[in-house]
Structure 1
Amino acid sequence: MNHRTTTRRRTLAGGAIALAAALTLAGCNDDSGAKDSATKAKPELKVSGAYIPEPTMNDMAAGFFTLTNKGGADELTSATSDIAGSITLHSTKGGAMKEEKSFKVPANGHLDFASGGNHLMLEKLKRKPKQGEKVEMTLHFRKSDPITVEVPVEAATYKPEQHDSSHNSH
């Protein structure tokens, strides 16, 4: 191998390394740009599956729903209703209920409020809602405008259908 061939191979190898490095850096910039735009994008929130089981107590009830977000991240900060003196946000982990200040609503994701998990506690009820009625609740967010929902009062034993995609029918 002569000096000319060695120099040419080194030049080609150096160029290939520089090209690979440039492509890698360009790929990193595109990913971070996509992440930035996802976090800066306007949230697109929708409430579904909302219900309140008919309360057994006169002064307290629970609320459940799914919050779907097809946009940027947001945060549920509170809820209000004319029927309740206050509404608090709660999580349940390992059977222990804990009051939360807020809940993150992930970008292009969902936040579930379900029996045995996250839920709203309607406290200091002004009247006990009955099965078949609808209760108006307003959800408040860090970025998005409030969403007002007409929430049906279901039987105390009501269990919504579960759509578990990990369970296949046989």
Structure 2
Amino acid sequence: MKPGKCLALTGIAITGALTLAGCGSSGSGGSSGSAGSSRAELSVGASYMPRPVSADMAAGFLTITNRGGTKDELTSVTSDSAGDITMHRTDGGAMEEVSSFEVPAHGQLVFKSGGNHLMFEKLKRRPDQGDTITLKLKFAESGPLTVEMPVKSATYNPSTGH
């Protein structure tokens, strides 16, 4: 093989390895488990908190993705920014607090406006747009994930980015 071709293939291999490494932990989530295992492989994305209208309560939204072959369960969420964080399910307009949510194997758990959501209660201070709230997500089987949740405008729409 010519030296130029070998160098090009090495560059492609390094780029591929770096791309795969970027799929793990990031500022907006993390991962647990190993590629190809039957364990849950969790990551978090699309997290945000609309700027709260109330000084002591806020909502939070995010998506937990499980690329692994085993389901897991989100059992609690904590943050130094709030006295308590509860998890809620909304069915037919009725909101109900739940103690856990299943994260299906090869699936997602979505928290969105009008659906499943987090409620931040007893806020230590009212977060402003541009702030970041740090959360710790705890699971039944996997290790905890730390998530950086940005505070967006009160009217933020994730589908438009505004």
> Is the TM-score greater than 0.5?
yes
Structure 2 CA distance for aligned equivalents of residues 94 and 159 of structure 1: 21
Please give the alpha-carbon distance, in whole angstroms, between the structure 1 residues aligned to 2:82 and 2:39: 30
Partner Cα separation in structure 2 for residue 109 and residue 134 of structure 1: 27
Aligned to 1:123: 121
Which ranges in structure 1 are unaligned for 5 or more consecutive residues?
1-39, 163-170
Instruction: Please give the alpha-carbon distance, in whole angstroms, between the structure 2 residues aligned to 1:148 and 1:49.
Output: 14
Counterpart among 39, 42, 47 of residue 42 in structure 1? 39
SS of equivalent residue, structure 2 residue 85: strand
Give the match for residue 83 of structure 2: 85
Instruction: Give runs of ≥4 in structure 1 deviating > 2 Å.
Output: none
- Matched length: 123
* Partner Cα distance (1:41, 1:140) in 2: 19
Query: Which whole-Å CA distance do the structure 2 matches of 1:122 and 1:96 have between them?
Result: 18
Q: Which residue of 1 aligns with 2:110?
A: 112
SS at match of 2:90: strand
Which residue in 2 is equivalent to 1:146?
144
The normalised TM-score by structure 1 is 0.71
- Secondary structure of 2:44's partner? strand
Code of the residue aligned with 1:46 in structure 2: it is S
- Looking at structure 1, the residues matched to 65 and 83 of structure 2 have their Cα atoms a distance apart, in angstroms, of 27
Q: Please state whether the residue corresponding to 1:79 is helix, strand or coil.
A: strand
Aligned to 1:75: 73
Q: Provide the identity percentage.
A: 58
Q: C-alpha distance in 2, partners of 1:52/1:41?
A: 32
Residues 22-68 of structure 1 show CA distances to partners (whole Å, capped at 9, x for unaligned) of xxxxxxxxxxxxxxxxxx92110010000000000011000100110
Q: Shift of the alpha carbon at 1:161?
A: 1.2
SS of the residue corresponding to residue 161 of structure 1 reads: coil
**TM-score of the superposed pair, with normalisation by structure 2:** 0.74
Q: In 2, Cα distance between the equivalents of 1:147 and 1:46? A: 8
Higher helix residue share: 1
For 1:83 and 1:157, locate their aligned partners in 2 and report how far apart those are by CA, in whole Å.
Answer: 21
Which residue identity does 1:60 align to in structure 2?
M
Coordinate RMSD, CA, aligned = 1.1
Q: Which has the larger radius of gyration?
A: 1
Cα deviation digits, residues 71-129 of structure 1 (max 9, x gap): 11000000000000010000001111100010000001001000000000000101000
What's 1:156 paired with?
154
